[in-house]
Amino acid sequence: MKCYDITFVGHMCFDEIHPFKGDVHIAPGSAVLCGAMAAARIGKKVAVIAKMSSADMAITEPMKQAGIDVFVIPSAQTTYMQVFHPTADVDVRRIVQQKNAGFIALDEMPPIKTHWMHLAGITDQEFTLELIEGLNRKGYRLSTDMQSFVRQVDPATHQISFNDVPNKKAIFKLVERIKLDIVEAKVLTGSDNLECSAKIMQDWGCPEIVITKAEGVLAQAQGKTYYERFSNSSVVGRTGRGDTVFAAYLVRRMEHSVADSLKFAAALVSIKMETPGPFKGTLDDVLLRIRQKHCA
């Protein structure tokens, strides 16, 4: 059986983006897509396990062309998201889930050999605590993005709101690395101070915490706090920022320190934010950006 460096699990989706003072556009999206493409572009062996409609398989082609192996869990429909930017602040968004591929069950997961498995969800409609417990029992090393639980879909309006997660401490004990943004961290801990939030969450049982905000990214690990500013010159590729930065951190962290991995992730996502869509650069591009913008 083929062994992968990292496997991304979640929904593939369509993103309908409504920018502030810009034209509406629709493109394939999801945390799975952004994360997997970043990992593959820098040379890792990557798999994706995606729940989606087989009628929309065409949206997986860019991943396959990048050398990513895609395993599809069939669903009646592919998740469809609308993202509205009412102001020039790209971190202010209203998100609506118009279609939903449904929860992923443990018995739907294909057998796979991987050094790392990342649960890359978009909303709380993808992963259950039972799934995480089952994957943990199977021996997978796990990470997750807490947007997969904090972003909660209203069953009537389909609008997403950010709410606390009742079983958050159980989730933190089952995974080795967790990613959030500043809004999600405040929802879970009550603090908008990144360092304070990270320390609170580390006490819940997860040894490495990564938190993003508009200006940069923080990591809390091994009792130390690290921070790296982004170096992007524009935000036209803002969608997928967190998914990309954490994927870059995870794969770099396999062989490097926390500080090095955070610098690498910040440099890679800075390049990504300057162009719409998933990361299109190379490992050499990232290393050059580090030398140019992240050596201070």
Tell me: the pLDDT tens digits for 247-263? 999 999 999 999 999 99
What Cα–Cα distance (Å) separates residue 222 from each residue in 36, 209, 252?
A: 27, 10, 17
Q: Are 13 and 80 in contact (CB under 8 A)?
A: yes
Confidence bin at 296 (pLDDT 50/70/90): low
pLDDT digit string, tens, across residues 263-282: 999 999 999 999 988 999 99
pLDDT score recorded for residue 20 = 87
Give the count of beta carbons closer than 10 Å to the beta carbon of residue 127. Answer: 21
CATH class entry, domain 3-293: alpha beta
pLDDT digit string, tens, across residues 78-111: 999 998 989 888 778 899 999 999 999 999 999 9
Residue bearing tokens 């989730």: 171
For residue 182, which of 194, 190, 168, 171 has the smallest C-alpha distance? 194
CA distance 135 to 143: 11
Confidence bin at 235 (pLDDT 50/70/90): confident
CA distance 194 to 216: 11
Provide the H-helix boundaries in the chain.
31-41, 61-65, 129-137, 147-150, 168-174, 182-189, 194-203, 241-253, 258-273, 283-293
pLDDT score recorded for residue 277 = 86
Residue bearing tokens 């500080």: 259
pLDDT score recorded for residue 276 = 87
Percent of the chain residues past pLDDT 70, beyond the cut: 99
The DSSP secondary structure of 56-92, one letter per residue, reads: GGGGGHHHHHTT-EEEEEE-SS-EEEEEE--SS-TT-
pLDDT score recorded for residue 85 = 87
The more confident residue out of 56 and 85 is 56
Q: Are 29 and 274 in contact (CB under 8 A)?
A: no
Residue 214 scores a pLDDT above 70: yes
What Cα–Cα distance (Å) separates residue 25 from each residue in 6, 232, 270?
A: 30, 22, 22
Q: What secondary structure letter does DSSP report for 190?
A: S
CA distance 230 to 178: 20
Residue bearing tokens 């087989």: 54
Q: Is 103 helix (H, G, I), strand (E, B) or coil?
A: coil
Q: Are 33 and 274 in contact (CB under 8 A)?
A: no
CA distance 268 to 195: 23
Structure tokens that stand for 130 in this block: 């039972």
Q: Is 175 helix (H, G, I), strand (E, B) or coil?
A: coil
pLDDT score recorded for residue 89 = 80
Confidence bin at 27 (pLDDT 50/70/90): confident
pLDDT score recorded for residue 236 = 84
Q: Are 287 and 265 in contact (CB under 8 A)?
A: no
